[in-house]
Amino acid sequence: MSDRLLVLCRHGQSEWNLQNLFTGWKDPDLTAQGIEEAKQAAARLKARGIAFDIAFTSDLVRAQHTCRLVLEGLGQPGLETIRDQALNERDYGELSGLNKDDARARWGEEQVHVWRRSYDVPPPGGESLKDTAARVLPYYIHRILPQVLGGRRVLVAAHGNSLRALIMAMEGMSGEAIVKRELATGVPIVYRLNADSTILSKEELA
């Protein structure tokens, strides 16, 4: 089996996920459930015999906390971990910190749906998924992918939309298709890549 291993993991449930708030670049931590989800992610990876050579995470505490719990659960608490805001969640701009129901009351159900589920329409002062991809993908190509293709086993603990941007590129999905892809919190997606960076295999450890 190839060692070109890349595991993507959305952070565990955050305090603002629980409260139904738009989070974006705001920085709440994990809930008790989110902590348990991260520990379960580690247990599932350990059961597959997976360990890592390097980890990447965002500049936000919920992803960093998830990354730390996964590595601790694998007995790798001191593993080299690179943090970068290129992997941050999509910036929701003026929606950040608002309850999703309150946002619908203010701007209307249809407009909020467009902001949440279109590929290239940003909320006021924020990023579309297309904008998010424009910062995530160069970072993946220049920093993460060379590690994977070099034979290192790589963990990326990040966010729903930054990971969607990665998955879109890796799996060759359209913008319209990727916005419909739901990523569960704390569920590792295990990719093994071919030497040309195409996908050899994929498994979700739900």
pLDDT tens-place string over residues 153-195: 999 999 999 999 999 999 999 999 999 999 999 999 999 999 9
**In this model, does residue 32 exceed pLDDT 60?**
yes
| Residue given tokens 């990447």 in the structure block | 56
User: Could you tell me the two tokens for 28?
Assistant: 């709440």
Does residue 66 register a pLDDT over 60?
Answer: yes
Tokens, residue 169: 């590129």
Share of the chain above pLDDT 70, in %: 99
Q: Alpha helices of 11-60 — where are they, by DSSP H?
A: 15-18, 32-47
- CA dihedral 112→119→169→62, nearest 10 degrees, is -20
Is residue 52 scored above 80 in pLDDT? yes
Q: Report d(CA 206, CA 189) in Å as an integer.
A: 9
CA distance 71 to 82: 13
Q: Smallest Cα–Cα separation from 2: which of 144, 146, 194? A: 194
pLDDT at 1 over 70: no
Domain containing 14 equals: 5-204
Residues 6+ apart with CB under 8 A from 203: 189, 190
Q: Give the CATH number, domain containing residue 17.
A: 3.40.50.1240
Nearest in space to 153 (alpha carbons), one of 79, 103, 47: 79
- Asked if pLDDT for residue 74 goes beyond 80, the answer is yes
Amino acid 99: pLDDT: 96
Active site residues: 11, 89
Identify the pLDDT of residue 3: 85
How do residues 109-128 score in pLDDT, each as one tens digit?
Answer: 999 999 999 999 999 999 99
Cα gap 9→7, rounded to integer Å: 7
- Counted residue by residue, the chain has a size of 206
**What pLDDT is attached to residue 2?**
58
Asked if residue 95 has pLDDT above 70, the reply is: yes
pLDDT > 90: percent of the chain: 97
Which pLDDT belongs to residue 67? Answer: 98
**CB-based burial, 70-103: b 16+ in 10 Å, e otherwise:** bbebbebeebebebbebbbbbbbbbbbebeeeeb
Q: Model-level pTM?
A: 0.96
If one counts the domains in the chain, the total is 1
